[in-house]
Amino acid sequence: MCVFCQIIAGDIPSYKVYEDEKTLAFLDINPVSVGHTLVVAKGHYSNLEEIPFNELTALISSVQKVGRLLKDKLGIDGYNVTENNDPVAGQEISHIHFHVIPRFSGDSLDPWPRRGYELEEAERILKKIIG
């Protein structure tokens, strides 16, 4: 049983932020910023491709509720929502979850360093994606 399934079952304690029939949200124990919350599906699905659509809509609805809750209660300026899909993308627990990361003006978090495309690279990539 994965660590998130153990948290959902109540075998491991957590700081619950929100819960409904299909989802659970709790504070991340290694937060990027104060209030960093994980929103998990109660069903065990490894990643975004595995979760059924109805479960995914319930999960993203809870992400929206948690974001609103953090804005209302913590007075944050905004938040990032991320889902790391598979280990190469930074997924440490093989159980679908979203991070809701509070942001404050001037916090200097830069989660997306950018790079441009080389000449004609975008066209080559697009052709691979859409055929």
**What are the residue numbers of the active site?**
97
Closest CA to 65 of 87, 81, 88, 52: 81
Q: DSSP 3-state assignment of 43?
A: coil
Assigned token pair, 10: 């109540």
| 3-class SS of residue 78 | strand
Q: Which residues contact 103 (CB under 8 A, 6 or more apart)?
A: 33, 76, 77, 78, 79, 80, 109
